[in-house]
Amino acid sequence: MGFRVDCYDTLIKNGHIYDPERGVDMIGHIGILEPNIATIIDPDHIPGKICAHRVIDATGYYVVPGLIDGHAHVVDGAWFNFPPERMFERGITSCIGSVSWPGFNRNRKKCINDFPATIQAALMLTVNAEIGCAAELWADVDAEVNIERLKECFEINKDILVGIKILVGKNETPAPELIHRVFKKTREACDEIGCRMFAHIANPPIPASEWLSYVSHTYLQQRKHSGRERTGITGSMGSKKTRRYF
């Protein structure tokens, strides 16, 4: 019987490997032949010897697929953000950030195009989102929203933009009538462009039964166009499950 030796570019050993999509939850090794994962190895059933040019001891650590952050502030123009390269420190390899259309081209060149990870973006409905505290948010909903400019930005940047985002709540939209106007304007823009709605809702002045109809409408309308099963990240804790996406 011959003696078998499997050699890899990189070997991650003794890590707690967790991959919910493939049902993997075990202590083991990962053999990598750049740039791909070649195999997952059970330490109790190694058919011979293994070696690698680079060995990483992951004892006591979880080894998981790249995480997806559905709410990240990594693009300049928001009220606050953190450098995109910090994503890797947190195990994040893809994210959705928020951008405002007046500065989108500048931010795309600066933060998105050359970054070695997937950054997609939700376009803020109002131009005042980029100005921040320099202007009152939602002082004049119709004046702050230019649907034609939003639509034009989507046409040019189809590969990056995934929807329109709003920030509403007790501080931003304290009056029930105002939050309804903002949601209706967002609904109008999303229907005109044909995109998803992203809503950051913090202590809204109306019950969920009132604002949920605006968001679920996005799901029901867009589902008619796609109607396919996709795997996504859902839930406040980022639990992974299969659901019907819009």
Contacts of 109 (CB under 8 A, 6+ apart): none
Distance linking the first and last C-alpha atoms of the chain? 56
Q: d(Cα 123, Cα 131) in Å, to the nearest integer?
A: 14
- Whether the predicted pLDDT of 135 surpasses 70: no
Q: What is the pTM of this model?
A: 0.69
pLDDT at 60: 96
Interval 116-129 mean pLDDT: 81
Instruction: Give the start-end residues of each E strand in the chain.
Output: 5-19, 24-33, 36-41, 49-57, 62-63, 67-69, 92-99, 118-124, 161-169, 196-202, 229-233, 240-244
Average pLDDT of the residues in 73-80? 64
Bridge partners, 183 (sequence order): none
* Cα–Cα dist 38/17, whole Å: 14
Report the candidate in 26, 30, 29 with the shortest Cα–Cα distance to residue 14. 29
pLDDT of residue 77: 54
